[in-house]
Structure 1
Amino acid sequence: MGKTTRFISTFDWIAPVYDLLASVVFGRKLQQAQVVFLTDIPPKASVLLAGGGTGWLLEQLLMKRNPKRVLYLEASVRMVALASQRIIQKAVLGTVEYRVDTIMHLPNGDQFDIVITPFLLDLFPEETLQSSLIPQLRNSLKPNGIWLVADFIGTDVWWQKTLLWAMIRFFRLTAGIETTQLADWQRLLAEAGLSLQKRQPCVGGMVSTEVWHLK
């Protein structure tokens, strides 16, 4: 996935305040964007949730869609600890495998009905997405599988561009992310052989929530 050891360790450091920072800047809008198309997930589906952070989306997934199996893949040890603790404290039932690792270490042949990447693709430069991360996630989808994406996109609104610029630089300094600008992940998904089924703008157009289908 292109996450280096430095990336993992510094996201461990920021994990306890990650949700607080997001809520200060965006309120609940980022959370709302992640569940726009949650009902597209059929019950009893196998789900790969990659980069799920502190577990809020996992909680919603388990409560509302009753998946057969969830692989919760996250490179940060502290994020995984927070997510598992959240599910235990909320007494949410479900079959979840918590794995501290990167997407690039997914076993060959381990495939899922659904892949979910909440605010993951914006962490990486286009080269990393195109050469490794998107192909690996695509290979993790079963035939006719669905990929749910919620992520930041480019904008022409000056204050949104300024905010995105500041966010990228903040997380480069505090979390060691690779990218210096938003990649055109929508184009890269299409080039990888996926077909866009649904799209909804969120957060004033700064975020796009989308459903992609493996042709």
Structure 2
Amino acid sequence: MATTPTSGGNFNWVAPVYDTLAFVVFGHKLQQAQVVFLDQIPAGANVLLVGGGTGWLLEQVLMRGNTKRIVYLEASRKMVALASRRMIQKSLLGSVDFRVGDETALSPDESFDVIITPFVLDLFTETTLKTQFIPQLLNVLKSTGLWLVTDFVQPPSWWQKVLLWIMIRFFRLTAGIEANRLANWQQCLFDADLALHKREHQVGGMVSAEVWVR
């Protein structure tokens, strides 16, 4: 079910060059961070992948071959087109439901063992995370479910802080994201009664890969 993109913005304009931009700035480091905890996905899991971009992470999940079904939820139609095309070109097998929309496109009767949000929480303000985004995703996460997060955190060095500031301004301009600074998404998850299970710092402390449990 398609919906009108909300405060997470819409990446249609930047979709064709998104992967190239990420590589120019970070090399393969962002990709490496996203796969750190994929081995935590249990066999036969129903997975919700939110904001999967051009489909690289979807490819990695499918290559592991242990999921039952994946719902790929992305607000950008162009990103969804790129992801579905990648799946065909790579001849990847798996049950994938491609959806154009945001978290409001989810039905209350859906249920997932694992939710994956790669570089998604940084698009929102803390208010939106607490009142809309996190509660709506928790509505479809099983009581024993896992939430795999890879995202930017407050970096340790001044040049990383400058880079993060530039990135937020860039995506406010090109994708219309609502965030004007990095939200403390870790505190938001904690306040939603989730518990941190695993954490690994990546990209020189600028990114954190984490597993949260209910």
Q: Same fold (TM over 0.5)?
A: yes
Query: Which position in structure 2 is the counterpart of 1:49?
Result: 49
Trace 1:1-215 onto structure 2 (pairs within 5 A). Answer: 3-4=5-6, 7-8=9-10, 11-214=11-214
Provide the aligned C-alpha RMSD in A: 1.6
Gaps of 5+ in 2: none
Does the aligned pair in 1 maintain the 2:54–2:83 contact within 8 Å?
A: yes
Amino acid at match of 2:34: Q
Does the aligned pair in 2 maintain the 1:2–1:133 contact within 8 Å?
A: no
Does the aligned pair in 1 maintain the 2:118–2:151 contact within 8 Å?
A: yes
State how many pairs are aligned. 212
Deviation at 1:4, TM superposition (A): 3.4
Deviation at 1:105, TM superposition (A): 2.3
User: Equivalents in 1 of 2:177, 2:144: separation in Å?
Assistant: 32
**Identity in percent:** 61
Return the TM-score normalized by structure 2: 0.96
Dislocated runs of 4+, deviation >4 Å: none
Does the aligned pair in 2 maintain the 1:145–1:213 contact within 8 Å?
A: yes
Deviation at 1:155, TM superposition (A): 2.1
Amino acid at match of 1:181: R
Deviations 1:82-112 (A, max 9, x none): 0000000000100000000110221112110
Deviation at 1:65, TM superposition (A): 4.1
Does the aligned pair in 2 maintain the 1:42–1:65 contact within 8 Å?
A: no
Deviations 1:53-89 (A, max 9, x none): 0000000001114210000000000000000000000
User: Equivalents in 2 of 1:67, 1:162: separation in Å?
Assistant: 39
User: Equivalents in 2 of 1:65, 1:117: separation in Å?
Assistant: 19
Secondary structure (helix, strand or coil) at the match of 1:7 reads: coil
Amino acid at match of 1:73: L
Q: Which moved more, 1:46-55 or 1:63-72?
A: 63-72
User: Equivalents in 2 of 1:166, 1:5: separation in Å?
Assistant: 19
User: Equivalents in 1 of 2:36, 2:8: separation in Å?
Assistant: 33
Deviation at 1:6, TM superposition (A): 9.8
Amino acid at match of 1:145: G
Gaps of 5+ in 1: none
Amino acid at match of 1:90: K
